Amino acid sequence: MLGTVGLVDVRRLAAVDMYGSAGSRLRRRLILAEFVVGAAGGIALGLLVAFRGTSVGRRLIGAWIVGIGINYVALAVHAASLSRRGVLDAELAGVDVWRELRRYSYLQFWIVVPLLMAVLSVRHVRRR
């Protein structure tokens, strides 16, 4: 199962999610907003839970939520860079979007692994 993680290209995940089935401008904006709200809200909620928690379990849950929020930061950064005119279309040129939608619908569940998307994103950027 861990081999699947190496197949997650965070930039492609953001691109496919932004494009969806039709590539509408409204969808692109909504997905970007979702990523930004997920990042800010996840980090804020996680910090609130962690610092208001008195038990170790509650603090761990808060840290887990912060880690998921950081995953959304990585997605938001990619979505913002893909929002410039023509960049999303260039990213998906020659790609079977329907196939990628099916594939990334499953792979997006890796977002709940704290910091995973952020680490994969940094690793991908360093390789380029």
Q: Is 83 exposed, middle or buried (0-12, 13-18, 19+ CB in 10 A)?
A: middle
Task: Give the pair of three-digit tokens for residue 105.
Answer: 């619908």
Task: Give the pair of three-digit tokens for residue 31.
Answer: 């997905």
Residues of the chain with pLDDT under 50: 1-4
How far separated are the first and last CA of the chain, in Å rounded?
A: 25
Angle subtended by helix axes 116-127 and 10-19, to nearest 10: 110
pLDDT at residue 23 in the model: 84
Residue 25 identity (one-letter amino acid): R
Percent of the chain with pLDDT over 70: 94
Put simply, whether the predicted model's pTM sits higher than 0.85 gets the answer: yes
pLDDT at residue 21 in the model: 87
Which of 58, 61, 80, 75 is CA-nearest to residue 124? 75
pLDDT at residue 52 in the model: 93
**What does the pLDDT look like over 45-81, one tens digit per residue?**
999 999 997 899 999 999 999 999 999 999 999 999 9
